[in-house]
Amino acid sequence: MRVLLVEDNPELVSLLIKGLGQSGFSADSVGTVGDALHVLATMKYAAVVLDLGLPDEDGLILLRDMRRKHDTTPVLVLTARDGVSDRVIGLREGADDYLAKPFAMEELVARLQALLRRPGNLLGRLLTFGNVSLDTEGRQVFVGGAARAFPARETAVLEILLRRCGNVAPKRLFEDQLFGLSGDVGSNAVEVYVHRLRKMLGDAGASVKIHTVRGVGYLMAEEKPG
């Protein structure tokens, strides 16, 4: 799951990226409302963690713009403004949750996970297809009930496919979720990770198979016996 951090404090951003990464999230960061608007116009995120005290504009401007455009991406407001009236204003503008600074990383992660478990959002604790399951919070893969050690990137690919069982997952989606704004993606990087995951699933005796839909993306389907 990739989230966007809209925060201008470099030290806090570094801590957030590390803490979220340890909990199975990937994160991109921007430090202004202007940059956030640009990024959100080109990429889709599972959630946005939004500071309000940004150098160019109030973070509420970004929140209002998102909701005006019918962007329903969950937004967790993270700010030093901890008065009741401040929280009420943020929630009325369309925030999904509110966490005052200073905060515990464990609470931030738990709140994000809770937001994404809401109906219509992306995060279910356990994703299952055929005999393959993924605990999205513990980042543990199971095949036929047995725990398997899959690397982080291959686990992320599996999660994307499990969330779209029966539907083609576009290649661009994998690029966005795996690499985000880092630009660390070669022309065949997605193919490499899909190939590795395909082999790992086969070696583990998975009842599902990853199919390539040429020119579009990938589809996970269950293989019927016989």
Of the residues 98, 117, 136, the one at which a domain ends:
117
Residues 154, 187, single domain; the answer is yes
Q: Does residue 111 sit in the same domain as residue 211? A: no
Q: How would you list the strands of the sheet with 217-222, edge to edge?
A: 169-170, 217-222, 208-213
204 in the same domain as 187: yes
- pTM for this one? 0.66
161 and 208 share one domain: yes
Do both 11 and 60 map to the same domain? Answer: yes
Whether 121 has a pLDDT exceeding 60, the answer reads no
Q: Among the ranges 26-40, 60-74, 130-144, which has the highest mean pLDDT value?
A: 26-40
Residues 11 and 78 in one domain: yes
pLDDT of the residue at 100: 86
Q: Give per-residue pLDDT as tens, 167-191.
A: 888 888 888 888 877 656 667 889 9
The count of domains in the chain is 2
Boundary residue ending a domain (92, 117, 142)? 117
Whether 141 contacts 132, CB under 8 Å: yes
pLDDT tens per residue across span 194-221: 999 999 999 999 999 999 999 899 999 9
Tokens of 19: 């803490």
Q: Residue 172 has what pLDDT?
A: 84
Residues 66 and 111 in one domain: yes
59, 50 contact by CB (below 8 A): yes
Residues 58 and 145 in one domain: no
Share of the chain above pLDDT 90, in %: 47
Give the domain-ending residue among 59, 89, 117. 117
Query: Are residues 134 and 107 both part of a single domain?
Result: no
Distance CA 204, CA 27 (A): 30
Is residue 82 over pLDDT 70? no
Which of 113, 112, 116 lies closest to 99 in space, CA to CA? Answer: 112
Higher pLDDT, 36 or 85: 36
Do residue 113 and residue 131 come from a single domain? Answer: no
Confidence band of 133 (pLDDT split at 50, 70, 90):
very high
Query: Mean of the per-residue pLDDT values for the chain?
Result: 86
Domain of residue 32 covers 2-117
Cβ atoms within 10 Å of 38's Cβ, excluding its own: 12
| Interatomic CA distance for residues 74 and 46, integer angstroms | 7
Give the CATH number of the domain where residue 63 resides. 3.40.50.2300
Q: Are residues 155 and 113 in the same domain?
A: no
Structure confidence by residue, pLDDT tens digits, 106-120 = 999 999 988 887 655
C-alpha pair distances (Å), 42 with each of 33, 125, 130, 218, 220: 15, 28, 34, 21, 26
Those residues with Cβ within 8 angstroms of residue 204's Cβ, 6 or more apart along the chain or in another chain: 143, 144, 146, 148
Bridge partners, 140 (sequence order): 135
Same domain, 108 and 150: no
